Amino acid sequence: MIRFALGLALAVHGLIHLIGFVVPWRLAEVPGFSPTTAAVWGRVELGPLGAQLLGIGWLLGALGFLAAAVGVWLGAAWAHPWMAISAAASIVLCIFGAPAASAGLVVNLALLGALGAGLLMDFIVRDPAMAVADESVVMVHKR
């Protein structure tokens, strides 16, 4: 159930990244998102070509999160590193897309936090020295 929920969150986040691609390329109109050449809270002017190049970054981010979602659903070993790379790259995209993409910063930090918490739990469960307190906890979390 957790894998399904995480995969779904990654897939939805990836699909939302498509807004950053379709709007500057004028492939679709998305309510609340207008084509702009300003980036980083209006501090950087990208120009039309720069906005479209950034749009390609958003498309790649979408593909990265969709791949991570599939990996999570399949239980693939590469899914978590792929998720971390996608979230880190997405943070950069969200900074460039701010203020419109500011909510994405929070989502990416939450994804990285969840990933970090999961890795910490795996470390605790797999390291016998860290798991001396309660064997039942170890048994519940073993994969």
Note the pLDDT tens digit of each residue in 63-78: 999 999 999 999 999 9
Q: pTM for the full model? A: 0.82
Query: Which one-letter DSSP state was computed for residue 38?
Result: E
Half-sphere exposure of 92 (CA within 13 A, CB side): 11
Overall average pLDDT of the 120-128 stretch = 62
> Is the pLDDT confidence value at 140 over 70?
no
- The pLDDT, as a whole number, for residue 116 is 87
pLDDT digit string (tens) for 82-91? 999 999 999 9
Least confident of 8-17, 52-61, 114-123: 114-123
Pick the closest to residue 92 from 54, 42, 59 (CA basis).
54
- The pLDDT, as a whole number, for residue 61 is 98
- The pLDDT, as a whole number, for residue 127 is 55
Average pLDDT in the chain: 88
Helix (H, G, I), strand (E, B) or coil at 39: strand
Give pairs for 21-27: CB < 8 Å, separation 24+. Answer: 21/55, 21/56, 21/58, 21/59, 21/62, 22/55, 23/55, 24/48, 24/51, 24/52, 24/54, 24/55, 25/52, 25/55
The crossing angle, in degrees rounded to 10, of helices 2-17 and 102-126 is 150
